[in-house]
Structures are given as C-alpha cells and as structure tokens.
Structure 1
Amino acid sequence: MNAQANPAASAAPVVVHHRFATIDGLKIFYREAGPADGPVVLLLHGFPTSSHMFRNLIPLLADRYHVIAPDYPGYGQSDMPDPSKYAYTFDGFGDVVEKLLGQLNVTSFAMYVMDYGAPVGWRLFLKAPERITALIIQNGNAYDEGLKTFWDPIKVYWNDGSKASRDALLGLVSLETTIFQYTDGVDDKTRISPDNWVHDQALLDRPMNADVQMDVMYDYRTNLPLYPAVQELFRKHQPPALIVWGERDFIFPADGAHPYKRDLQDLEFHLIPTGHFALEDRADEMVPLIRDFLDRKVGNVK
C-alpha cells in the first residue's frame, strides 16, 4: 500500500512538547503542541489526575490549534511544596495558570474545563471574560444543582473543618476510588487503559500528597459563592460553549450540566453515555464534536 492510498502513512505525527515554567519559585509542568500562531486552546485537568488526562486529545487538536495543558502545583509533574508551607487553593491554581499564560504571551484562548479545571477556569473567566473565545465543558460544575450525593461527606468537612471529617475523606485518594473514577459508568472497560490509575495513584501515594488533596478538597467550598458571578458573566458575555458531559458520572452528575442551558445562548449540548473521565472511552464520539465546534467558533481567531 502506498502513501497516497493510505493518507495516514504520509501524515507526520504531531510533536508534543513537555516543558517547565518557573512561577512564584515553583516548577510548573505543561504540555504544549501545535502552531505558535494558531488559536490557543487551554486544557484544565481534574482530580486526581493532571495534564496526562489530555495526552490523547492534544495531538488530535494540535494540527491547527496551539494547545496548552498545565499541571497545577501538587499534581502531575509540577512541584509539590510542603502543604504546611504552601496554600493549595483554587485561587492559587488560577493565579499559576494566569501567570503561565502571561509567560507564554497568550492573550485569548478557548478553554476546556473538567472537574477541578472548572473552578480554575472560572477564576480566569471572572478576571478577564473578554479573553475567552469559547468554552468546552466536560463534567465541570458551575451550579448548585451539580453537587449531589458524592459531595455529602465533603460538605460535612466544609462545615466543621474537623480532623475527623478530613480523615473520613481519605478513601478518596485510595486506589479503589481512583479505579472507580475511571471505570464507573463505562460500558466497555477494556477501552480504559489501566495506565491511568497506575499513573495517578503513584502520584497520590507520594508523601504528603494526601494532605495536599484534603487541603484542595476543603478549599473547594470557596467555589460555590462564585457561581452566581460566573452565571452572570455567562449571561452577559455569552461565550460559545460546547458541553460534552459523561452523563453517568457519580461525582459530577448530569444534574449539573442542564443548568448551563439557562444562561448560555450559544450552547451545544451533548450527554455522552459514560462516566467521569469521558475522554478515556468515548474520545471517538467526543473529538469530532470538539473539532467541529472549535473549527466553527474559533478556527479563525488568533
């Protein structure tokens, strides 16, 4: 078979760069790919993973788009300072990402938010909504309706801040829970690479990382008071938005997806029949939706 008969044989693979930036004295890891002058797509990861969750998506966007996917402090390959000396907060994560974008001279960008990536992204949106060219929302919350049963013991911790309530959440960083996050709601589990939980759990099991995760879990309470302001900005600025949401997610159920329809007029809405990490088994369904959306909404924006 010649290259003309097989187009894939003549297409060079996309190069993904794995870089570090120094921000506030910390080494912050990020993946970067695509044309330097292409429209920027910022990928913001969730818990308990890192930019690793976008490893398959990045090459599928980077032929046309300048893709940037950072790891927050304490996640992935970024530095993990001692939690007794460093405040692990969503405000801090937002500042780190904002400073990274500044170092990279990024002035406007589409934003893919997932899980923890949503409150990180909403902070960027609140600071300068005009920078956001489009939103891709995958199991990322901005409405009270999206915090259901999974969050009940976490809300206890938010309310009392006690050691007992904190310790009761330590199961959330166990291997059993990490596997659950990747496999719950998935029809064909052979589509999910075990490398996911091996990779994530190795990082969760680092000394002090459980404390990092509990600190971040406690700080999540600061996101809820921001929801009204985020929703107001949705209504005011009306960024084009795509929802590709794993509808069987126990952590961020589809109850949190539907309210976006109230505030976003230019919204394309898709519930995907899978769980939390939808890209892991439904990329074949999601990537065409994401590509089509970006090509129509931001393909000519630089």
Structure 2
Amino acid sequence: MKHQTLDVDGLEIFYREAGDPSAPTLLLLHGFPTSSVAYRTLMEELAGEFHLIAPDYPGFGLSSAPPVEEWDYTFDHLADVVDALLDRLGVERFALYVHDYGAPVGFRLALRHPERVTGIITQNGNAYDEGLTPFWAPIKEYWAEPTPENGDALRGLFTREATHWQYTHGVPDVAHVDPALELHDQALLDRPGNQEVQLALFLDYGTNPPQYPAWQEYLRTHQLPVLAAWGEGDEIFGPDGARAFARDAKDAEIHLLDAGHFPLTTRLAESADLIRAFLRRLPR
C-alpha cells in the first residue's frame, strides 16, 4: 500500500494506491463522513490481483480542506478533482466502486468519460429515488429553504452520536464494528470549519436527485456490468435503491447483505468475494 499526495489545482490530494498498475484498475470513491481509510482492508484483500486507487476528496481525510470562503464545495467540483487526479496518474480505464457520496462523484465521471468505465460496484451508493429514506426529510427542507436555521438543524449529524449511529444502525452485532473508524472520522469532522464544508455539500446534494434520470439513461445505454452489494439494514439509502439498479442494467447482480450503511466494516470477506468475482468477469 502506498500513501501519497499530488497537487491538483493548488490542493494537496491524498490517495491510497495498491497493486500492480498494469493490472485492471478499481477506483474507490468514499462517502460521508469517512475517507479512503474505509478501504484499507478491502484494498489489502484485492491488491494481489487488481490495481486500486482510493482518493480523499477536498475537505475529507488527509486532503486539503480549505474553508468554504476559498473553495466551492459542490459535487461537480469534487468530480473535477478526482478527474484531474486520474489524469495526473495516467489512469484511462477503470471500474468504479461507489459508496454514499461516491455515487454522485462516480456517475459524474462516468457521464464525462463513458469510454473509461468498465463496470460499477455500488455498496449503498444511490442513483434512484427509491433509495432515499425518511432520513433525508430535514435535508430536503434545507434544499427547499437554505436558511441558516434549516442548516443549523442539521448540525446534529456531525456529532459523535450521529457518527456512531451511521456505523452501527442495521448491524446485527455492533461488536463487529471497529470504534477506531468512528473516532477517526469524528476527529476530522471536528476540525474548525469542517461543519461548514459538510453543510455546503449537504445543500449541494440537492443537485443529485434531478440527475438520477441521466444516470439511469447512462446505465440503459451502455449496459455496463453492475454489482450492487448493499447493506440491507441501511436507513440512509434503503435496499430499494439497490433493487432499482436491475431496472436499467439488465444483468445487474443484486446482493442484500446483513449489514448497515458501511458493509465493509462487518461484511468485509463477503463483500471482497463478491467484488473479486465481479472484477474477474470484466473485459480486460
């Protein structure tokens, strides 16, 4: 495993890289509130056979986190950074792994460069209205009326209790959840100014559901192989979001795992087996 940074448009972007660069590449795109740290164990499982790259977005993990007054935190802009990083690394073909925020970043990349993407793995990375649960109700209020009051109502989602809930809800035995992952994410959320970064992205997430039809049309048109290995107990992106992929990707594999929002924390071996088998079937 390599741990490196590259300057991308004046930002230091951290990324993890493992495996032989001549092997097929898997790009792993993380969600909220975590970073590429979520993929350390999966990358170790797959590195003997595949080339793996997992970047941290600006504002997350070990990448630069400029204040909101100095950098425009939107999903378009996050995709710009990942796109530029791939160009710097010379990566021209890759499969996508998307989780949570990784889905809107990844689908933006796929629409920009459909010829580059060989397949899509989604673990609780949503692209359908059916996947949006009641969890989103107060965030939708913020989209409709982006007032300071509606923004402040979301700050509870940045607390230690909320981060613990994200990792443990829907998990049959929480003893399998490593609390060090929660503590790592929370320490970065607690940095001065980071709540404003996250509120900016919560607000901009409202640009994603209107793009779902374009993402679905992309799946119908290109008929890429799709693997949805989804935590069935997720109360953020529900399992109907996984099932919906079969509507547009005719050969989609749908697996509902006995897990919550972060399947890799409690179902690593099962997830790795599904992902490895899926990647082996992709054209090289």
Instruction: Give the RMSD, CA atoms, in angstroms.
Output: 0.7
1:70 aligns with 2:66: no
Map 1:11-50 to 2 at 5 A. 16-50=1-35
Query: Who is 2:202 aligned against?
Result: 217
Specify the SS of the correspondent of 1:179: helix
Query: Who is 1:167 aligned against?
Result: 152
Distance 1:202 1:244 in 2: 29
CA contact (8 A) 2:27 2:52 kept: yes
1:15-36: CA deviation from partner (whole Å, max 9, x where unpaired): x000001001000000001002
User: Unmatched 5+ residue regions in structure 1?
Assistant: 1-15
1:202-245: CA deviation from partner (whole Å, max 9, x where unpaired): 00000000000000000001111211111111000011111100
1:49-86: CA deviation from partner (whole Å, max 9, x where unpaired): 00011010001111111100000000000000011121
Query: Who is 1:277 aligned against?
Result: 262
Specify the SS of the correspondent of 1:297: coil
2:47 is aligned with what amino acid?
A
1:183 aligns with 2:168: yes
Shift of residue 188 of structure 1? Answer: 1.5
Q: From 117, 121, 126, give the equivalent of 2:106.
A: 121
2:68 is aligned with what amino acid?
P
Query: Who is 1:208 aligned against?
Result: 193
Map 1:51-62 to 2 at 5 A. 51-62=36-47
1:290 aligns with 2:280: no
Q: Between Structure 1 and Structure 2, how many residues are aligned?
A: 284
1:103 aligns with 2:114: no
Specify the SS of the correspondent of 1:28: strand
1:29 is aligned with what amino acid?
F
Query: Who is 1:7 aligned against?
Result: none
Specify the SS of the correspondent of 2:233: coil
1:190 is aligned with what amino acid?
A
Greater Rg over alpha carbons, structure: 1
Distance 2:234 2:218 in 1: 26
Distance 1:129 1:166 in 2: 35
Query: Who is 2:140 aligned against?
Result: 155
Distance 1:64 1:141 in 2: 27
**Identity score, percent:** 54
Shift of residue 258 of structure 1? Answer: 1.3
User: Unmatched 5+ residue regions in structure 2?
Assistant: none
1:93 aligns with 2:78: yes
Shift of residue 162 of structure 1? Answer: 0.4
CA contact (8 A) 2:246 2:253 kept: no
Q: TM-score scaled to structure 1, two decimals?
A: 0.93
Distance 2:54 2:269 in 1: 20
Q: TM-score scaled to structure 2, two decimals?
A: 0.99
1:295 is aligned with what amino acid?
R
| Segments of 4+ moved more than 3 angstroms | none
Specify the SS of the correspondent of 2:267: helix
Distance 1:283 1:87 in 2: 34
CA contact (8 A) 2:130 2:240 kept: yes
1:121-173: CA deviation from partner (whole Å, max 9, x where unpaired): 00001111121101101101111111120000000000001000000000010
2:70 is aligned with what amino acid?
K
Specify the SS of the correspondent of 1:253: coil
